[in-house]
Structure 1
Amino acid sequence: MSAAQEQVGQDDLQARLARRLRQVDAGERAVSAWMAVQIGGRFFLIPLSHAFEILPWQRPAPVPYTKPWFLGVINWRGSLSGVVDVASYLDANAAPRSEQDLAQCMLLTLNPVLEVNTALLIDHMAGLKSLTDFTAAYAPAPGSTAVAPFLGNIYADAEGKHWQELNLQRLAQDSRFLAIGL
């Protein structure tokens, strides 16, 4: 895929999401509550009010003496935002991503209301989801890797995929998330 085709695809995705977000703001809040994303082989549901903008991958400037999951900073709309590899943050043993893998990723910025200039590395956007998209819901098992203050219920869809709520507001307040230094 050429860079021009990739940009057109990214623009189309942004336009569709913007259109759906306007519909949500117009009163369809019960229809779509989450932005569905894939991060490191796991599927997450992010509350729409916590997400802000989806950016194409751009290589962050590295920051020395930071944790491996903190990839660096980008200049986004005139301000610096930290870039976090959520897959690595959740699993310290996650395999490092190749340059080719990173080129296929996107960055999801947190809503400025959360007061943390951060962009999360995501592998794939899966659109918008609501409760009607799922057949079952349950709480994660105690002691599993799916338990953290910022991780919520798990939902199963008709295809058998399991999606877990990822609360960015709680993530942005998590002391471990805020401690990027070694």
Structure 2
Amino acid sequence: MNTKPVQQTRNQVKTSTDNSETSSAVLGVAVGEDRYLISMSEVSEVIPIPKLAHVPLTQPWFLGLANIRGNLYGITDLGAYLEKVSMPFNQKSRILLSSPADKLYGGFIVNSMLGIRNLSEFTPAKPAKKKLPKGIIKQYKDTEGRLWQGLSLFALIRDEKFLQIARE
């Protein structure tokens, strides 16, 4: 009797269960006064702000390049990129590293980390605008009535605006 197909099926079920649990885990971050929820599957690492290599003639939201373990990451001021008021960075500021499968490397500076959350803690909110801005996938409210925005770093990295860092 061959048990290999049964074992593969059990592993596939376990993997799909693990993925659904992971997909509900989100990272809460603050960018200025705004709060965002980012899928843990889109964040490969969270690091303090390293020394950045300045790149001249680039968009104001593009802060430079960082060499992280041999990979060059373009570092973006997330607040400026989302056209929010850019807040100064401090000791609580961090860079979220993200790298979709197509080898695009992006780092996004946020003002502070608000911890790992579960989406079950939030209720979906109707957006004030009919169309959400690029990268914003959904809006949520927490138990205290504060608005949180679901943000996809992968969508931002693949956005045409993000790929054009040269100043026009």
Q: TM bucket by the smaller chain? A: 0.7 to 0.9
Partner residue in 1 for 2:43:
51
2:16 & 2:75 partners in 1: Cα distance? 28
Partner residue in 2 for 1:169:
154
Partner residue in 2 for 1:148:
133
Q: What SS class does the counterpart of residue 113 from structure 1 fall into?
A: coil
2:78 & 2:16 partners in 1: Cα distance? 28
The structure that is helix-richer by fraction is: 1
Deviations 1:124-160 (A, max 9, x none): 11122222211x312422268xx22311211111122
Q: How far has the Cα of 1:91 moved from its partner?
A: 1.3
**Which contiguous aligned blocks of 4+ residues in structure 1 show a shift greater than 4 angstroms?**
none
Q: TM-score with structure 1 length normalisation?
A: 0.74
Superposed CA RMSD in Å reads 2.4
Q: TM-score with structure 2 length normalisation?
A: 0.79
Partner residue in 1 for 2:10:
none
- 1:157 is matched with which residue: 126, 142, 149? 142
Partner residue in 2 for 1:42:
34
Partner residue in 1 for 2:124:
137
AA aligned opposite 1:163:
W
2:148 & 2:20 partners in 1: Cα distance? 19
- 1:27 is matched with which residue: 18, 23, 27? 18
AA aligned opposite 1:130:
N
Partner residue in 2 for 1:9:
none
2:38 & 2:106 partners in 1: Cα distance? 15
Task: Tell me the matched-pair count.
Answer: 152
Unpaired runs of at least 5, structure 2 = 1-14
AA aligned opposite 2:128:
A
Larger radius of gyration: 2
Instruction: Confirm or deny: 8 A CA contact 1:139 1:152 kept in the other structure.
Output: no
Partner residue in 1 for 2:99:
111
